Chains A and B, each alone.
Chain A
């Protein structure tokens, strides 16, 4: 008997409400998706059920699965809901309060009573250890080893901590004291999970680094148990392949790495969406793309250039106010550079009596009570309700007809909560909601483009998520983006990201130096050490050593400035001869972002980064995946009236997305319906279906 070939790959995204699965079988060019309710008490239950069901549906066995890529909101939820471990912190004497003092700013200038983001480690669990190293590495005070042992014993035995973070001053560059303290603790309590700031986030700025180390410790016990359980359970059903975990930066890594640095998984779900958009952009040969993923509570936008998204190295977790910058805990981790705003199908509309205007979001009706039209008890109109009034959604074909929507209830809610209070008709109120939510998204997107020094007009929008295709064209018009691409299965497209994410790792070391005084030998040594670590990790993840690509960069600024910009570096072996090229790279990046350069102020680098990536396994979306599709006329199943901001009420052709074949072409206004979403096409637009069954919307 021959062993079955391990060929299928599965992506699993555990969200707050649903666990989404996607399977790809390269032999059949088959992509198959599944969705079931998350099992919060033990998420692996839904994962296993889902995998078993998915495999049964495509007629495969667990032994035929090559790999599983996993993403989860567990980390983010543990921090938001404060359900992580009891953590202790060892800090340099004089600095145990750095995570509480923070940046000393108020995130809302006009709120006298704002609630601060409470540190994950309360003050009584933070211990000060005599030790001190200067910024240049001078040992000013030796590590008090006895103090380490005493503090650890108290924290473990008296206070009952479940994990320990260690964060000493200047450890980003001089980690010896942290390492020695860890050895001492490990000898006493070998099973206690430790998070060293020099390993979790070796970057200058003690508040952010310590905060990241504490957050890592906070989720470490939970994620360790969870991933262990999942590995065992998968083995029990006969899975022999590799389990990978999705990182916030859009790469995948090994389970072991994820257990050491679980905080890096915090944005794995949103990262998958960006990776899916990147894949679609590569597939269609689009160099400049803005992805637009609009779901029930949020909208996410991400620039994808040259087939991959940018990264940023700051993130905020557990915000007191979800969409308010500065109201959360800072994390120094690599995340996909995207914006997330409080605009989704569930965003609530209300009248602001003080200003006399209509407002939409950022609060959301969530899954419960949900929009008014769901009939789940919601009384405040939402964006989805507005879309229904405007004719953009079919009350009888929501979620493929699984859920019947109630237009009358929605009209009553609009009348009562909005129309009568503003003196507007119901339709005008609904149109107002649509215009405002689209304008809110446009404003945030414009700012994102502006911060990156980019012009939206030359970009293509790739729209997905349940509400994305409904709002995409109007949003694109506000941004003066001409072309919109809506992938097939737009409602679940983001799960594709799990299948196309590359094994990757991002490393960083802070070492502050003016460029003209840099000790290149020392910097090259930093890169060599990071490269060694990165390649080892990728080899563990099964990458081919020949194919690993390493990209060095540095965070630079003019001396005296407070914000750094990332600058790509020419090689891993730098010398003074590279200076002109490095300076030029800095200036060109600076000019792109800020439209000018300042020539006579010295440049300094703060942190040095290395990104190691192995190639992703792009999947094919072949024709065989789409049976019984035909021309536009065959897919047309009727008409419906839709109210457009620009044209008033128009009769729209309604098309069945599943019956539109590649090459189909027709004119708007139109509605193209699929199970999880509807693509709204305005007048003066031509829709074409490309070879991958993407809808392409362009001006007529």
Chain B
């Protein structure tokens, strides 16, 4: 009989308990995802649900959302605990913040944490993060010069106290957003998600007879930690370096210098030498830098063991204060993803010499490229519609990169028919972009080409968040870069890639999404694959000859 006690767990009970805690986080996530109004939550999977123990250390996170919220949410929870000590929490409380430095690095994400009580005692916390439909301020722009322009900041506050909503806080907050009904709806969804976790944890403790989560938390963290350490130990000790560049803002190119130091079973990721912070919203707050540094390491080294607080203990991340990867308050940071998404490419490039079998080339979809049109439709209604689409993923050692697929984020794309039904926008093309995949033994994923006609009443606002116009995704291990991105109107003008512009009705906008980098020398690519790429139009005849050295068919 393998019955669990609070001291240690047999391998069977541990497997059962561990997977049950993950499925609790998944169940919470399902409810959140299905009832959220935020299109970012839905299409960008920009949400997460995390279970934590009494100390605020994460035990499990949902399977599908944004990776590594499991290492941010505990930090936020500890900030809550320092403001509201453990003994002050009551059943039915929930606390909230969107402070970029305490939470996920920009204002639009709300973190809501709810305590879990069992048999009268505090046993843990349920946390959820979701990208809000609005936070006021200059929505959708990287051009703000200070945080204050980017929206309303809610410091750690009680959202509910013993089951009662904090009406004054809500009034103040909702008075500062454009779509209060939807914003409130999503906050409710987050609270409901936390309550699901709360109920399920109580059931779990009842079913198993455990008094609390502490010992289980310790054990699963230790398992995750030792698994990551084993994977790091397999790497040779040493310092591995890479520097990458991105377009940055206007003339100020972003430079990311990355040194990965492996010592025994630990890894240090150091961004010394990285560009300084700037007065535009592409600064990447350190919490986000940390999350997007450890996630790619997890994918490459230890993809299978479930994540929790322990997964990342062996990895130390540092970035100089006042650098673009560790800006200080009140730096603008609303588009911090334009910088944070680049980190995976830098880390993989640094590790390529020692880990060529486990990494991929840079991705065209890192950072993501977004276009938002807003204005008045022909019926006189306001519209505001985000275009979700991705560039190509970098190639790997045994496989071409996926076309039109983002990494490190996991952004979906909605349907064009649904997009056209919701706003006066007509999409004339959404197709793969020939020759955009970086040549290599394995080819980078293709970017795509989208052409949109604006059919609004009067001019509309276009907000763009994009990069890789001048810095395409690099290849690795001898592979070539993918095609850069490009955004132009049919009158030949180029709207600002990270700011807002006005577009006249009737204009057509073309967006070319960047391709992924190639892996390995393109001249060594299997000739049948080159011919098949040619037959399917993934590459042109010129590229087949020029990049791959394919002799023309007789």
Contact = CB atoms under 8 A, between A and B. Distances in A.
A and B held together in a complex: yes
Interface of A: 93-98, 100-106, 109-116, 122-124, 132, 134-135, 140, 169-170, 172, 204-208, 351-352, 354-359, 422, 424, 428, 431-432, 435-436, 439-440, 443, 446-447, 450-451, 478, 512, 558, 560-563, 593-596, 598, 600-601, 645, 648
Given A135-B417, A594-B189, 14 more contacts: A94-B451, A97-B448, A104-B390, A115-B399, A123-B537, A135-B421, A354-B230, A424-B10, A431-B1, A432-B11, A446-B27, A447-B26, A563-B33, A594-B31
Given A123-B538, A594-B31, A596-B188, A104 B411 contact: yes
16 contacts: A97-B448, A101-B403, A101-B404, A104-B405, A112-B299, A116-B405, A123-B537, A205-B418, A206-B416, A207-B415, A356-B14, A435-B16, A443-B19, A446-B23, A447-B27, A512-B421
Contact of B415 (A109, A140, A204, A594): A204
B505 interface: no
A103 B185 contact: no
Contact of B192 (A478, A595, A648): A595
A204 B306 CA distance: 37
Contacts of B42: 561-563
Interface stretch (B78-86, B140-148, B423-431): B423-431
Given A357-B18, A359-B15, A103 B412 contact: yes
Contacts of B33: 563
A12 B536 CA distance: 42
Contacts of A435: 12, 16
Given A101-B430, A104-B411, A560 B19 contact: no
Contacts of A169: 416-417
Contacts of A116: 402, 405
B266 interface: no
Contacts of A96: 431
Contact of A439 (B20, B192, B421, B535): B20
Contacts of A446: 23, 27
A593 B20 CA distance: 21
A357 B35 CA distance: 35
A140 B426 CA distance: 10
Nearest to B537: A123
Interface in B1-36: 1-2, 10-12, 14-16, 18-20, 23, 26-27, 30-31, 33-36
B396 A113 contact: yes
A357 B226 CA distance: 13
A100 B431 CA distance: 9
Contact of A95 (B19, B192, B359, B416): B416
A208 B26 CA distance: 25
B431 A206 contact: no
Contacts of B360: 112-113
A563 B38 CA distance: 12
Given A428-B2, A648-B1, A94 B305 contact: no
B19 A134 contact: no
Interface residues of B, number: 88
Contact of B536 (A106, A124, A451): A124
A456 B255 CA distance: 55
Nearest to A434: B12
Contact of A436 (B15, B23, B35, B358): B15
B467 to A, nearest CB: 18
A560 B1 contact: no
B16 A355 contact: no
A104 B15 contact: no
Contacts of A478: 207
Interface string B169-182: 00000000000011
Nearest to A510: B417
Nearest to B203: A480
Of A96, A97, A134, A443, most B-chain CB atoms within 10 Å: A97
Interface of B: 1-2, 10-12, 14-16, 18-20, 23, 26-27, 30-31, 33-37, 39, 42-43, 45, 63-64, 67, 133, 181-182, 185, 188-189, 192, 196, 207, 223-224, 227, 230, 298-300, 302-306, 358-360, 388-390, 396, 398-399, 402-407, 410-418, 420-421, 426-432, 448, 451, 535-538
B451 A561 contact: no
B550 to A, nearest CB: 17
B415 A106 contact: no
Contacts of B18: 355, 357
Nearest to A602: B181
A638 to B, nearest CB: 26
B396 A112 contact: yes
Given A135-B417, A443-B19, A94 B11 contact: no
Contact of B431 (A94, A109, A561): A94
A643 B14 CA distance: 20
Given A104-B405, A358-B12, A594-B31, A447 B359 contact: no
A563 to B, nearest CB: 5
Contact of A97 (B12, B300, B430): B430
5 smallest beta-carbon distances between A and B, as pairs: A432-B12, A94-B429, A357-B15, A110-B303, A205-B415
A561 B36 contact: yes
Nearest to B445: A116
A35 B245 CA distance: 66
- With a 10 A CB-CB cut-off, give which of B359, B396, B429 has the most chain A CB atoms: B429
Given A109-B67, A560-B37, A594-B31, A135 B420 contact: yes
B530 to A, nearest CB: 15
Contacts of B133: 560
B30 A601 contact: no
Contact of B2 (A95, A111, A355, A424): A424
Contacts of A106: 402, 405-407, 410
A124 B261 CA distance: 47
A93 B427 CA distance: 11
A105 B431 contact: no
B428 A109 contact: no
Contact of A109 (B2, B300, B403, B410): B410
A205 B411 CA distance: 17
Contacts of B19: 439-440, 443
B411 A206 contact: no
Given A357-B15, A440-B19, A601-B181, A124 B537 contact: yes
B330 to A, nearest CB: 31
A341 to B, nearest CB: 12
B175 to A, nearest CB: 16
Nearest to A141: B428
B125 to A, nearest CB: 20
Contacts of A105: 45, 405, 410-412
Nearest to B431: A97
B430 A111 contact: no
